[in-house]
Amino acid sequence: MKIASLYHPKDVNDALRVSRESKDTVVFGGGAWLKLSPRRVERAVLLDTLNLAEIRVHDDAVVIGAMCTLRSMETHEAILDIGQGILVDALEQIMGVGLRNIATIGGSVMGKYGFSDILPVLLALEASLTFAEAKEMSLESFMASKKRMNDVLLEVSIPRKKAIGYFKKVATTPLDFSLLNVTVVKTDTRITVVLGSRPGGAMGHDVTEYINGANDIDKAVKRAVESVLEAIPLGQNVRATKAYREQLAKTYVRRGLLEVMRDES
Amino acid sequence: MKTVNRKTPSVDGKGIMLGRPAFTDDLADKGSLIIKVLRSPHAFARIKSIDVEKARKHPGVELVLTHRDVPRVAFTRAGQGYPEPSPHDKFVLDEYVRYVGDEVAVVAAIDETIAMEALDLIDIDYEVLDPVLDFEEAIDHESVIHPEDGIREMFPIGFEPKRNIAASYRMDFGDLDKAFSESDVIIEKTFHTQAQAHVMMEPHAVNARLDFQDRLVIISATQTPFHVRRILSQTLDIPIEKIRVIKPRVGGGFGGKQAIHGEMFAALVTMRTGKPSKLVYTRKEVFESTYTRHPMKLHVKLGATKEGALKAIDWHVLSNTGAYGEHALTVFMVAGSKVMPLYNKVDAGRFHGDVVYTNTTPAGAYRGYGAIQGNFALESAVDILCAELGMDPIAFREKNMMREGETSPVFEIMGEGTEGTAMTMETCKLDYCLSRGLELVDWKNIYPRKTLKDGKIRSVGMALAMQGSGIPYIDMGAATIKLNDAGFYNLTVGATDIGQGSDTVLAQIAAETLGVHINKVIVYSSDTDLTPFDTGAYASSTTYVSGNAVHRAALHMREMLIEEAAVVFGVDVESIDFDGATFTNKEDEKTITLEKLANRITYNEDQKQLTATSSYVGTKSPPPFMAGFIDILIDKETGEIEILDYVSVVDCGVPINPKLAQGQVEGGIVQGLGMALYEDVKRTKNGSLISHDLLNYKIPTNMDVKKLTTEFALSHEDSGPYGAKSVGEIGIDTPPAALANAIYNALGIRLTSLPFTPEKIIRALHEKEGEKTS
Amino acid sequence: MKVKLLINQRPRVVDVEPDEYLLDTLRRHDVLSVKRGCDAASCGVCTVLIDGKPTLSCSVLSARLEGKAITTVEGEREEVTRFYTYFGDEGADQCGFCNPGLALTAISMKRTFDNPSEDDIRRYIVANLCRCSGYVAQVRAIKRYLEESS
Ligand SMILES: Cc1cc2nc3c(=O)[nH]c(=O)nc-3n(C[C@H](O)[C@H](O)[C@H](O)COP(=O)(O)OP(=O)(O)OC[C@H]3O[C@@H](n4cnc5c(N)ncnc54)[C@H](O)[C@@H]3O)c2cc1C
Ligand code: FES
Ligand code: FES
């Protein structure tokens, strides 16, 4: 990316205002992804001095500032607690520490990358977002919306519920994007399956009805897997065909469900 | 032995880790003009017109070159013996562009930004031509990739550019029809190998400058400085004595730097502007516009008696050299010549086929070239044959493989681009490599497979391999040893250390011969002004060929030193004992130290400079051998493979530096595994590269291969320096076949097309299950 | 624009372009141990320590680093020398292009982890690509360095 000038906004409102002034303005997270872009921009809006790099722990939620690096998240106790470490598990599988010390949660959410290993987990954990203008919004509606969100993300909030989590990234090497990733989260009331890198953006499906109260676990899991495959479309790209993604989904959704149920007993 | 075959830390590792400037871009003149190359967006096109006026006028631009501005002399970029067995089919810049990434124009500017801006200011009108992208359709395709005049072969290599054939070859021995008719079992199979990218961590880089004698000095990350000097001189019509090529530290080569890449442009820019210039390839350029491994289609037919005696090997091979024919013939021939002799007891054999042009990134030298492709085909085919025969593949190999003291007719028939050299295997510990490897991998308890509790399958597979040690009568290496005051030595060699540790290995050989600690041998490579000639770092030649040269030079230095000591004591040389540190006159037990003697002849009496220069050219190429075994875990629901261990037992003669030799083997194994598992150069339908960065071209990480077990057979090659053969390439050869065989042993599916991605495994498995149920 | 950086313990005010990355700034100022392998956050050879944390210098804007401490192998001579004794002993060095970045990553691991397992080590250095060594000797060397040198 070619950048003509850098801008340090006074506050969040200033950031929002400036970022909307022209199409040639871009808000920076860590900038690792933006670096790869061939774009030329007039102004890069840096959020470095707006105190957005904090992780706050409340009774009911962990609130992560948009400028927190992935590395600062994965080394945080409260985040390690979430879903038995499921988020840390996902974060640790993204490239190496050298990148994770740069890449931010803000950039990871706002990029809405189809290949993301973070968004599926956040989705399964029912995370919500806080924007400078739009204020609160669930991650689910953010993901479902096709519109580009012309706003500044301030925080990501993850509810602190008792949950058991399973995350599987299938990739050619540990430095590759997922061919598919599978997240399963079981709380006291719900079991959610999310598929990411389909290759499109992450999508979730609630399988509680198949599992809860079932006598024959294997049969229940089988039906749950079928319902996931029916509900969540999979497709093709250079990394994998649709058929292979389906094979992977079948296998790992089943294993994930069995694992979260085993962990409980 | 004190230094050889001992653990010896490398001479340069610490300085490099401490970050001392050592690589081309570290040493480049800071005021260098920055060179950028405009590259073709089309797989095949003719430049109808090119307008560079705006670019030339752009402030800060010093030079713009197009095909109209450069000498039109056909050459080959391949750095190999001269005259080369590669067609001279490349021009510095040409009216035709033959692959996406081919060079169109060159810009030199005072900084990178301006150079990039200037590229955008060049207007080109292309006549887009129909490209040849599928190499199986290249021969006699309507599109002729090299229609131009002025291209030629240096000697007959089967060059037929009008048919898109860069080279072709045919050999046979024995009566093939008879051998097959006497076979009880005959199998035939076609194998496909993919293009693999070298991905050396240091991208290609070159810096050019004019020195105070107005000579052209090229600093280049090259494996072949002497070939670079010759090719530049011949192509740009610069007197060869006006060119100096310095090879500093090189960040990996693997064959990818065994050729001219940016040197031609940097030389031109500096000659035309009088200013230093620099060209550092981007990673995308390395992927798109240097080299890949030659993709091949190999058809193999084997025949054997029911007792398991292999009677005949018949191959037809089609190889894809991409847009230019670098190493086209030699790589092709090695697919047979460094593989077929593994089974030397056959009655008859044939190896033939063509190397074709396509509109893709040129293929060139790459570690294990030809051998890895041929090995994959033959060692897979042997297991297929064994399955047909109902014979244990180990027993089959024991019965048919090469043994010490034996030979193969192939050696005499096939060389690299020419005829070969007959030789007997003075050392061949293949039988030990095989039996030791079986033990280490616990073959008898795992073969063919074990099903684990979680449903995953553990299996083993193996392959044998051989290489060469330099090219006989072609590869020459030379070394000079100079004595200094205080009694330490300089060793200068043309042999190019490109990270494989040859400086250390050669210094060890010198130190051993001279009887000194390695610290007393200061090694330097390579500089065409200062160091003696060497063909370069390729063909597994350095330890054997250059090592022999060093050994000879050191012996010669010893003789000269003993003569000097004899003068000091006034006795005959026979009366002098020399242990490396002290000369003893056997007649009266009087002594003089090397330090004193060196000081004496430097400063005090009989003053003179002692230097010894020797060279070596092989009269044979003793092959190293190995047996490679893979131990894997397959998830049969997903096709994912986990590598539990890769066992290598290698006969490379005496490893001069066991740790470095191990590093050569293990680095090769992991590169070979990359090729076996997933490395794949991928293109769009239009021929542009998808895998042009490290996000889309995956190489192994440390998590992909967690265990390697590497051992060396006790072996001593009398013709090698201190018993050594080569070890640089052999490691890469076995992984594709070993993995294919392990997958077969696990799942009963035979994969014949590399790489073996999990998706391919699942597809094959489903096909097999489909067959069963239908 | 001007930024104040602490490069290898030495305060320096450097003039940078808004879109200049740390890798370019460092090499321009003769900190040549820092290599460029991909320029796209994918190879690890450009790794430096920023306030002690391993960071890909090809992907951080220099202008954002006001007041930060940048450390490369040139600024860690003693520790790198210690590390090299294990590395050389295991024969883990080949071309060395990846080594400065790897050394810094290993050093940072020593300073932040207690008793890392082999798996921890492998994960921590996973993005330090090396095309020469086959990795196994590197991992052995780092393991010994972490166990024996403290
Ligand atoms: C080489 C490489 C490999 C990767 N591999 C993976 C992988 O395997 N799995 C995975 O999940 N991820 C991967 N990623 C993505 C990574 O995890 C980050 O998500 C990504 O780098 C974006 O984070 P950043 O801080 O760099 O964002 P930036 O590059 O700074 O920004 C990305 C986008 O988000 C916008 N943005 C950033 N912050 C805000 C904000 N606060 N408000 C509004 N908009 C904002 C920017 O304008 C931009 O459009 C990879 C990235 C790279 C560079
Ligand atoms: S240069 Fe490759 S990660 Fe920075
Ligand atoms: S030693 Fe060459 S890349 Fe690691």
Count of CB contacts below 8 A, A vs B? 40
- Residues A64, A69, A75, A80, CA torsion sign: positive
Percentage of chain B lying above the pLDDT 90 cut: 96
List of residues 6+ apart from B771 with CB closer than 8 A? none
Q: How far apart are CA A99 and CA A79, in angstroms?
A: 19
Tell me the average pLDDT across B32-49: 98
Q: Which helix (H) or strand (E) holds B537?
A: none
* SS3 state of residue B217: strand
Same domain? For B467 and B416 the reply is yes
**Residue B47 located in a structural domain:** yes
Specify the residue with its C-alpha closest to ligand 3, atom 4.
Answer: C130
With a 6 A CB cut-off, is C38 part of the ligand 2 pocket? yes
**Residue B672 located in a structural domain:** yes
Q: Domain boundaries in chain C?
A: 2-74, 76-148
Q: How far apart are CA B294 and CA B283, in angstroms?
A: 20
Residue where one domain finishes, among candidates B601, B617, B633: B617
**Residue B150 located in a structural domain:** no
pLDDT at A263 over 90: no
Same domain? For B606 and B644 the reply is no
Same domain? For B708 and B611 the reply is no
pLDDT at A81 over 80: yes
Enumerate neighbours of B (3 or more CB pairs within 8 A).
A, C
Ligand nearest to the CA of C98: 3
pLDDT at A265 over 60: no
ipTM of the predicted structure?
A: 0.98
Q: Which domain holds residue B750?
A: 296-471+620-773
pLDDT digits (tens, 9 = 90+) for B526-547: 999 999 998 887 767 889 999 9
With a 6 A CB cut-off, is C48 part of the ligand 2 pocket? no
- Which is the CATH superfamily of the domain at C76-148? [2Fe-2S]-binding domain (1.10.150.120)
Residue where one domain finishes, among candidates B617, B644, B667: B617
pLDDT digits (tens, 9 = 90+) for C48-75: 999 999 999 999 999 999 999 999 999 9
B-chain CB neighbours of C84 within 8 Å are 13-14, 17-18
Beta-bridge partner residues of B709 = B647
Per mean pLDDT, which range of B429-438, B572-581, B763-772, C59-68 is the poorest? B763-772
Beta-bridge partner residues of B185 = B304
Residue A147: predicted pLDDT: 87
Ligand nearest to the CA of C137: 3
**Residue B525 located in a structural domain:** yes
pLDDT digits (tens, 9 = 90+) for B467-514: 999 889 888 999 999 999 999 999 999 999 999 899 999 999 999 999
The side-by-side arrangement of strands in the sheet containing A2-7 is A2-7, A40-46, A25-28
Number of domains present in the structure of chain B = 3
C-chain CB neighbours of B201 within 8 Å are 35, 37, 43, 45, 95, 97-98, 129-132
Q: Are B606 and B600 contacting, i.e. CB atoms less than 8 angstroms apart? A: yes
Q: Are B218 and B240 contacting, i.e. CB atoms less than 8 angstroms apart? A: no
Q: Are B744 and B634 contacting, i.e. CB atoms less than 8 angstroms apart? A: no
Tell me the average pLDDT across B369-393: 98
pLDDT digits (tens, 9 = 90+) for B134-193: 999 999 999 999 999 999 999 999 999 999 999 999 999 999 999 999 999 999 999 999
CATH tag for C2-74 (out of 1.10.275.10, 1.10.760.10, 2.30.30.100, 3.10.20.30):
3.10.20.30
Could you tell me where the DSSP H helices lie in B258-325? 263-273, 283-289
Same domain? For B562 and B420 the reply is no
User: Within 13 A of C54's CA, how many CA atoms are on the CB side?
Assistant: 31
pLDDT digits (tens, 9 = 90+) for B61-115: 999 999 999 999 999 999 998 999 999 999 999 999 999 999 999 999 999 999 9
List of residues 6+ apart from B707 with CB closer than 8 A? B643, B644, B645, B646, C136
Q: Ligand 3 pocket check: which of B10, B201, B249 to mutate, most ligand atoms within 8 Å of Cβ?
A: B201
C-chain CB neighbours of B699 within 8 Å are 129, 131
pLDDT at B774 over 70: no
Q: Do C42 and A1 touch (CB under 8 A)?
A: no
Residue B416: predicted pLDDT: 84
Same domain? For B50 and B121 the reply is yes
Q: Are B274 and C119 contacting, i.e. CB atoms less than 8 angstroms apart? A: no
Residue C6: predicted pLDDT: 98
Residue B541: predicted pLDDT: 80
Residue B81: predicted pLDDT: 86
* SS3 state of residue B680: coil
Closest CA to A192 of A180, A181, A182, A207: A207
Same domain? For B205 and B94 the reply is yes
Pick from C16, C64, C113 the residue to mutate for testing the A interface (most A CBs within 10 Å).
C64
Tell me the average pLDDT across A201-221: 94
Query: What mean pLDDT value characterizes chain C?
Result: 97
Residues in chain A whose beta carbon is closer than 8 A to a beta carbon of chain B?
A: 170, 172-177, 238, 240-241, 243-244, 247-248, 250-252
Is the Cβ of C124 closer than 8 Å to some Cβ of chain B? no
Taking CA atoms, what residue in B is nearest to A96? Answer: B701
Class of residue B764 by CB neighbours under 10 A (exposed 0-12, middle 13-18, buried 19+): buried
Residue A126: predicted pLDDT: 97
**Residue B135 located in a structural domain:** no
Beta-bridge partner residues of C27 = none
B-chain CB neighbours of A238 within 8 Å are 682, 690, 696
Band (pLDDT 50/70/90 cuts) for residue B646 is very high
Which amino acid is residue B143, in one-letter code? S
Is the Cβ of C23 closer than 8 Å to some Cβ of chain B? no
Q: Do B699 and A173 touch (CB under 8 A)?
A: yes
* SS3 state of residue B266: helix
Residue A264: predicted pLDDT: 60
Same domain? For B321 and B416 the reply is yes
**Residue B316 located in a structural domain:** yes
B516: domain CATH number is 3.30.365.10
Residue A214: predicted pLDDT: 86
Same domain? For B20 and B94 the reply is yes
- Residues B599, B603, B608, B610, CA torsion sign: positive
Phi–psi pair at A142, nearest 5 degrees:
-60, -45
pLDDT digits (tens, 9 = 90+) for A135-176: 999 999 999 998 888 999 999 999 999 999 999 999 999 999
**Residue B93 located in a structural domain:** yes
Same domain? For B267 and B283 the reply is yes
Same domain? For B319 and B424 the reply is yes
Which amino acid is residue A131, in one-letter code? F
Enumerate neighbours of A (3 or more CB pairs within 8 A).
B, C
Residue A262: predicted pLDDT: 86
Q: How far apart are CA C130 and CA C102, in angstroms?
A: 9
Q: Which helix (H) or strand (E) holds B50?
A: strand B45-51
Same domain? For B677 and B692 the reply is yes
0.90 exceeded by pTM? yes
Distance B773 CA to ligand 1 centre (A): 47
Say how many C-beta atoms besides its own lie within 10 A of residue A204's C-beta. Answer: 22
**Residue B274 located in a structural domain:** yes
Identity of the residue in C39, C43, C136 whose CB atom sits nearest the CB atom of B201: C43
pLDDT at B1 over 90: no
pLDDT digits (tens, 9 = 90+) for B687-735: 999 999 999 999 999 999 999 999 999 999 999 999 999 999 999 999 9
The side-by-side arrangement of strands in the sheet containing B625-634 is B449-451, B457-466, B625-634, B641-651, B708-712
Identity of the residue in C31, C37, C39 whose CB atom sits nearest the CB atom of B201: C37
Q: How far apart are CA A155 and CA A175, in angstroms?
A: 27
The side-by-side arrangement of strands in the sheet containing B61-65 is B61-65, B103-109, B33-39, B277-280, B205-210, B216-220, B243-246
Pairing of strands A153-159, A25-28: unpaired
Query: What mean pLDDT value characterizes chain A?
Result: 96
Q: Do A99 and C59 touch (CB under 8 A)?
A: yes
- Least Cα separation, residue C148 to chain A (angstroms): 24
Residue where one domain finishes, among candidates B617, B649, B675: B617
Residue B536: predicted pLDDT: 80
pLDDT at B458 over 90: yes
